[in-house]
């Protein structure tokens, strides 16, 4: 009696290699991703002003241009691979922190109440920007050279520190609007 065995260990690398050879990662996936993004944005932005057929056609045409851009710039595959991988790592760390905070009795929902909401939103935006830059967004020529210099980043850091200090100083614990004299 013969037993048929499958070598599963080599199946997934072979499937990924075939998908790469057939251009799935370079052409199809950026096309589908951009189609979903363009359609979603246009559906929200022009919901009442444009019929769904026009939104679909515009999304399709823009996504075909994304496919053309991908054919010129093969770095888009590395960008999306790094972006997805880094996003998974950061998302896992955030999930782990939320679980740990919950185990110790901290209510994570309080992060998004009151003035701390804007600080949390700014931190999330900063994390997303850092992930995108770490994934290689700067190599596509979207960021000017002066914006990636160490002096510019130092100025940005300094301005953020000053803004946070001013925000904390101006948010008083009393009924006054912060700063200046209290009115009788």
Residue 183 is given by DSSP the state P
Q: Does residue 55 sit within a domain? A: yes
Rounded distance between C-alpha atoms, residue 107 and residue 105, angstroms: 6
**Distance, C-alpha 120 to centroid of its chain:** 15
DSSP 181: P
pTM of the model: 0.56
* Neighbour-count burial of 30, counting CB atoms closer than 10 A to its CB (0-12 exposed, 13-18 middle, 19+ buried): buried
Which residues does 73 contact at the CB level (< 8 Å), separation at least 6?
Answer: 140
In a domain? residue 183: no
Q: Is residue 172 part of a domain?
A: no
pLDDT tens, residue by residue, 91-144: 888 888 888 888 888 877 777 777 777 777 788 788 877 777 776 666 665 566
Is 6 domain-assigned? no
Q: Is residue 167 part of a domain?
A: no
Please report whether residue 111 resides in a domain.
yes
Element (H, E) at 24: none
> Residue 131 in contact with residue 79, Cβ under 8 Å?
no
Q: What is the pLDDT of residue 144?
A: 62
| 31/59 Cα distance (integer angstroms) | 10
Q: How far apart are CA 172 and CA 71, in angstroms?
A: 55
Residue 110 lies in a domain: yes
Residue 171 and residue 118 in contact, taking contact as beta carbons nearer than 8 Å: no
- Please tell me the distance from the alpha carbon of residue 82 to that of residue 133, in angstroms, as a whole number: 10
Q: How far is CA 53 from the centre of its chain?
A: 29
Tokens 């070598």 sit on residue: 7
Where residue 4 falls among pLDDT bands split at 50, 70, 90? low
Q: Is 82 part of a structural domain of the chain? A: yes
Give how far the C-alpha of residue 88 lies from the chain's centroid of Cα atoms, to the nearest Å: 11
What is the domain extent for residue 20?
11-142
- The residue among 57 and 154 whose pLDDT is bigger is 57
pLDDT digits (tens, 9 = 90+) for 28-81: 888 999 999 999 999 999 888 989 889 999 999 999 998 888 888 888 888 888
What's the pLDDT score for residue 1? 46
Looking at the 3D structure of the chain, how many domains does it have? 1
pLDDT value at residue 121: 77
């Amino acid at each position: 009696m013969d037993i048929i065995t499958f070598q599963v260990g080599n199946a997934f690398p072979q499937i990924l290699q075939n998908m790469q050879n057939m251009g799935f990662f370079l052409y199809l996936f950026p096309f589908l991703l951009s189609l979903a993004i363009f359609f979603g944005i246009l559906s929200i932005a022009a919901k009442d002003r444009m019929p769904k057929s026009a939104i679909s056609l515009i999304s399709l045409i823009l996504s075909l241009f994304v496919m053309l851009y991908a054919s010129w710039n093969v770095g888009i595959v590395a960008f999306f691979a790094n972006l997805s991988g880094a996003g998974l790592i950061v998302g896992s760390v955030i999930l782990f922190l939320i679980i740990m905070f919950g185990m110790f009795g901290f209510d994570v929902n309080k992060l998004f109440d009151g003035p701390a909401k804007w600080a949390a939103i700014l931190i999330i935006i900063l994390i997303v920007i850092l992930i995108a830059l770490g994934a290689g967004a700067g190599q596509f020529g979207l960021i000017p050279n002066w914006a990636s210099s160490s002096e510019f980043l130092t100025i940005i850091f300094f301005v953020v520190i000053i803004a946070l200090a001013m925000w904390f100083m101006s948010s008083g614990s009393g009924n006054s609007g912060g700063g200046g004299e209290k009115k009788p």
